[in-house]
């Protein structure tokens, strides 16, 4: 059985690791941010499903209706045999990212409810492009049914994605909104990065319209995600004239990179009083730099919705983030992975929610710890 083979092959890999339809900050609440549960969970399986030996398909998490993508692979030639336990490979860019650890916990939690199996294949570093490509080959050899992939180098991953699709494996690009990819994909699941950050930029620009802003940008590693997020924030502030973008540096998507970029930027340009970061880990690194330099006057902007960043927003250390609720995105990803094997997902882009989050609405998330991973450090 391919499931037994899979467990042997992944023994050498890390299996235990594992964190826009946009909503304005003023309108986001616990009531609007709940994941929708499908009504089918309360029903008994259909007669033909109940009679099936082995895995029985279930619908638990209801995600938004998919829309068309330009790089659409066929969903009619999958190798999966219905009734077998689905084997899903979760392949984030790197295990150093708390965001992908949270998403992975959501995927594993949904898999337990759905009866699927999950293997986690990922290099430690998000910059290890060759390592991720090699693990893609491992996933094909294992005979997984679905790959949930987030590559930081789309072009490098495209040839091996082609091989996976040809082998009858469904491949989703997750935490993304790239509907015109390097090669054909089964589906794309993620939030609208540019529009979510544009909304955040508009909110920030309005809140600080009476101040003279000298802005720094801490980018991620070069690629689609960094371009969309940083570009969206710049789009959002563009309608105002009280700002100047002074410097832009690569923060490598991680805490250490954000810390180093922040130190360099603030020492070279002490006039900077606001810094946008392409993800929350960079924002947390920047926060460390600001504290070390005694710069309490710097407004920090993030993106992701990591638990520690939400708590920093509550404490007033970070101003805002685009909160994509990564744990819940994982729930949706796993449901779509099972759905495609049973003909319930026909391909396309699933736009998951995101919420511009400030002190005005952060409690609506911190007071729902079951939606976050890890849980907040205290009860709010």
List, by residue range, all CATH 3.40.50.2300 domains of the chain: 2-191+326-353, 194-323
Average pLDDT over residues 216-239: 96
Instruction: Report whether pLDDT(324) > 90.
Output: yes
Instruction: For residue 184, give both structure tokens.
Output: 């054909």
Instruction: Report whether pLDDT(26) > 50.
Output: no
Instruction: Report whether pLDDT(308) > 90.
Output: yes
Instruction: Report whether pLDDT(150) > 50.
Output: yes
Read off the pLDDT of residues 160-217 as tens digits, 9 standing for 90 and up: 999 999 999 999 999 999 999 999 999 999 999 999 999 999 999 999 999 999 999 9
> Residue 217 CB: number of other CB atoms within 10 A?
24
Would you place residue 153 in the very low, low, confident or very high pLDDT band (cuts 50, 70, 90)?
confident
Question: From residue 87, how far is each of 122, 143, 169, 236, 286 by CA, in Å?
Answer: 16, 8, 10, 41, 39
The residue written with tokens 């045999």 in the block is: 81
Q: What is the 3-state secondary structure (H, E, C) of the chain?
A: CHHHHHHHHHHHCCCCCCCCEEECHHHCCCCCCCCEECHHHHCCCCHHHHCCCCCCCCCCEECCCCECCCCECCCCCCCCCECECCEEEEECCCCCCHHHHHHHHHHHHHHHHHCCEEEECCCCCCCCHHHHHHHHHHHHHHCCCEEEECCCCHHHHHHHHHHHHHCCCEEEEECCCCCCCCCCECEEEECCHHHHHHHHHHHHHHHCCCCCEEEEEEECCCCHHHHHHHHHHHHHHCCCCCEEEEEEEECCCCHHHHHHHHHHHHHHCCCCCEEEECCHHHHHHHHHHHHHHCCCCCEEECCECCHHHHHHHHHCCCCEEEECCHHHHHHHHHHHHHHHHCCCCCCEEEECEEEEECCCCCHHHHCCHHHCCCCCCCCC
Nearest C-alpha neighbor of 333 from the set 162, 104, 169, 132? 104
Peptide bond into 374 cis (omega under 30): yes
pLDDT of residue 198: 98
CA 78 to chain centre: 25
Instruction: For residue 103, give both structure tokens.
Output: 């998403």
Instruction: Report whether pLDDT(12) > 60.
Output: no
Rounded distance between C-alpha atoms, residue 375 and residue 380, angstroms: 11
Question: Which fold does the domain 2-191+326-353 belong to in CATH?
Answer: Rossmann fold (3.40.50)
Instruction: Report whether pLDDT(157) > 90.
Output: yes
pLDDT of residue 34: 53
Rounded distance between C-alpha atoms, residue 232 and residue 216, angstroms: 15
HSE-CB of 186 using CA atoms within 13 angstroms: 32
Choice among 45-54, 76-85, 148-157, 341-350 with the minimum mean pLDDT: 45-54
Would you place residue 16 in the very low, low, confident or very high pLDDT band (cuts 50, 70, 90)?
very low
Q: Which residue has the higher pLDDT, 89 or 12?
A: 89
Averaged pLDDT of the chain: 89
pTM of the entire structure? Answer: 0.87
Rounded distance between C-alpha atoms, residue 74 and residue 263, angstroms: 48
Rounded distance between C-alpha atoms, residue 316 and residue 318, angstroms: 6
CA 319 to chain centre: 21
Read off the pLDDT of residues 360-371 as tens digits, 9 standing for 90 and up: 999 999 999 999
pLDDT of residue 126: 87
Instruction: Report whether pLDDT(311) > 80.
Output: yes
Instruction: Report whether pLDDT(18) > 50.
Output: no
pLDDT of residue 1: 44
> Residue 38 CB: number of other CB atoms within 10 A?
14
pLDDT of residue 5: 39
What homologous superfamily does CATH list for 194-323? Response regulator (3.40.50.2300)
Percentage of the chain with pLDDT > 90? 84
Read off the pLDDT of residues 120-147 as tens digits, 9 standing for 90 and up: 999 999 889 999 999 999 999 999 999 9
Exposure b/e, 270-288, CB count within 10 A at least 16 = b: eebbbbbbbbbbbbbbbbe
- CB-based contacts of 270, cutoff 8 Å, min separation 6: none
pLDDT of residue 48: 43
pLDDT of residue 281: 98
Length of the chain: 380
Would you place residue 270 in the very low, low, confident or very high pLDDT band (cuts 50, 70, 90)?
very high
Read off the pLDDT of residues 328-359 as tens digits, 9 standing for 90 and up: 999 999 999 999 999 999 999 999 999 999 99
Nearest C-alpha neighbor of 280 from the set 85, 160, 102, 132? 102
pLDDT of residue 53: 67
């Amino acid at each position: 059985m391919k499931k037994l083979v899979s467990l042997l092959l992944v023994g050498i890999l890390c299996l235990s690791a594992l964190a826009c339809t946009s909503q304005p900050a003023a309108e986001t609440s616990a009531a609007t941010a709940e994941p929708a549960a499908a009504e089918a969970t309360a029903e008994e399986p259909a007669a033909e499903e109940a009679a099936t030996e082995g895995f029985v398909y279930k619908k638990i998490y209801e995600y938004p209706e998919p829309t068309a993508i330009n790089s659409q692979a066929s969903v009619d030639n999958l190798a999966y045999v219905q009734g077998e336990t689905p084997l899903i490979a979760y392949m984030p860019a790197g295990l150093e990212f708390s965001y992908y650890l949270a998403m992975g916990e959501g995927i594993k939690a949904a898999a337990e409810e759905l009866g699927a199996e999950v293997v986690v294949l990922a290099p430690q570093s998000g910059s290890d492009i060759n390592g991720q490509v090699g693990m893609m080959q491992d996933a094909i050899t294992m005979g997984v049914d679905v790959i949930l992939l987030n590559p930081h180098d789309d072009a490098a991953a495209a040839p091996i994605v082609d091989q996976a699709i040809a082998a009858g494996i469904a491949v989703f690009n997750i935490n993304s909104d790239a509907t015109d990819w390097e090669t054909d994909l089964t589906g794309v699941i993620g939030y609208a990065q540019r529009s979510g950050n544009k909304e955040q930029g508009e909110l920030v620009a309005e809140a600080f319209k009476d101040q003279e802003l000298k802005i720094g940008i801490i980018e991620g590693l070069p690629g689609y995600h960094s371009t969309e997020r940083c570009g969206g924030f710049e789009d959002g502030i563009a309608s105002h004239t009280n700002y100047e973008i002074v410097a832009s540096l690569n923060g490598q998507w991680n805490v250490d990179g954000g810390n180093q970029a922040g130190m360099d930027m603030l020492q070279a340009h002490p006039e900077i009083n606001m810094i946008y970061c392409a993800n929350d880990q960079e924002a947390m690194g920047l926060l460390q730099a600001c504290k070390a330099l005694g710069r309490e006057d710097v407004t920090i902007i993030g993106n992701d919705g990591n638990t520690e960043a939400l708590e920093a927003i509550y404490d007033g250390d970070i101003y805002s983030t685009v909160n994509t609720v990564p744990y819940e995105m994982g729930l949706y990803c796993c449901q779509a992975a099972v759905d495609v094997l049973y003909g319930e997902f026909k391909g396309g882009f699933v736009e998951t929610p995101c919420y511009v989050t400030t002190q005005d609405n952060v409690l609506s998330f911190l007071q729902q710890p079951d939606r976050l991973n890890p849980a907040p450090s205290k009860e709010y």
